[in-house]
Structure 1
Amino acid sequence: MPTDQALFKAAEAVRAKAYAPYSKFAVGAAIMADDGKIYAGCNIENAAYPVGNCAEASAIAAMIAGGGKRITRIYVTGPGTTPVTPCGACRQRIREFADLNVTVISHGVEGEPLISTLEQLLPYSFGPEFLPR
């Protein structure tokens, strides 16, 4: 699919810019947003571990800053052969901006990608529709 190739290229391009001096585990994420644009982000570590950013969180921030509102597809890349899936916190972050049927592609770039939906990654989730607006 051409969209997936574009998302993969964007995720890999930004992954090369990741700041991961501690884990040496560079991750890239690229979002296709409802405005038709691709927004990318990489992980940014910090010596005080809790204050770092995951690639998915960085990509979501770029999407919001760029004017996108909703995630329509997301591609996550990392090293190795095992698919690099979003962490639990990022699954919830994605949930805030994506429908449950949104495709999440998780790819350890030396192996095969895992293609799943957000609902498969985060079953029985709590989302914004449960809160009054």
Structure 2
Amino acid sequence: MRFGGGTSARRRRRLVAAAALAALAAAGVLAAVPLLRDRSQDRLDRRADREVTATAQRTRAALLATPSASGPALRDAADAVDGVEVLTVESAGAGVRLVFRVRVAKTAASVFGWQQANVGACFAQVVRPAATPAPMERLPCPD
């Protein structure tokens, strides 16, 4: 025969164990949420950076489509690409050197709400009437 408190002591131990498990799970969630949010933001930043590079490549293709064009015509060709701002157009020996900035703004919905990435980069392209195009170079952007 049992004497008082046998089942209530077991319940108490189960409740304490459940409370400890719940506290541990809550601490894990609180620690993991910022890490997951940062990872999601980094992924969005990388996607925006890839889009900046792709836009720069489209601009390069537009510039090299008419290698014998004048400076103003090349400026217009670069300005026609979305997200491109021409900074300078200079004569460079037998060709024209354009420096342009590409900006991309991306937003995405996630578990953590709306996330936004604004990425910009500057590039230089020399356009020569010769058959061999010059490589495009990535530059630091002026302030």
TM-score (norm 1): 0.29
* Larger-gyration structure (1/2): 2
Q: Which structure has the highest strand share of the two? A: 2
**What is the TM-score when the length of structure 2 is the normalising length?**
0.27
